[in-house]
Amino acid sequence: MSYRCPAGHQQRLATDSGRGRQAHRGALLERIRAELSVQAGREVPILVSSGFRCTTLNAAIGSSATSDHVRALALDFRAPAFGSPLAICQALQPGLERLGIGQIIFEHTWVHVSTRAPASPVNRVLTLAGKNYLPGIVA
């Protein structure tokens, strides 16, 4: 299966390695949806704004070449029925291990999660601050 990204590049979704990662990421998304729904006491839909990105699209939007999006490991999402991206980060942070979240970044208008835990534990929970990141969830 393939589709074209907004920049017109062919995206391959069904490479052998990609298929496993898609499934892995999909399972992460379902765990997050279930967790937020339990905490809210009602069904909370997840709105994904970005998943896998080809290297050209990734560069075009100014993202790092080492982004987990290029490796099909990351998702950006919102869940307005639960609350703000800040509220989502605060709700998920205590359960990172249980939920299989390797990294979470509060990006202000959305939440970034990756199945890959960064080499340095301090980078596991971050807040975007300009072009840099601060450790932890910083309101």
H helix and E strand count, the chain: 4, 8
**Stretch of 14-22, 76-84, 91-99, 126-134 contacting Zn ion, by CB under 5 A:** 76-84
Beta strands 74-78 and 111-114 are: antiparallel
**Stretch of 54-62, 66-74, 89-97, 123-131 contacting Zn ion, by CB under 5 A:** 66-74
Element of type H or E holding 7: none
Residues 124 and 102 sit within 8 Å (Cβ to Cβ): yes
**Stretch of 11-19, 77-85, 90-98, 111-119 contacting Zn ion, by CB under 5 A:** 111-119
The whole-angstrom separation of Cα 19 and Cα 53 is 15
> Residues 32, 46, 58, 76: which binds Zn ion (CB under 5 A)?
76
Minimum Å gap between C-beta 31 and Zn ion is 17
> Residues 21, 25, 78, 112: which binds Zn ion (CB under 5 A)?
112
Q: Which residues pair with 2 in a beta bridge?
A: 12
Residues in contact with Zn ion by the rule CB under 5 A: 74, 76, 112
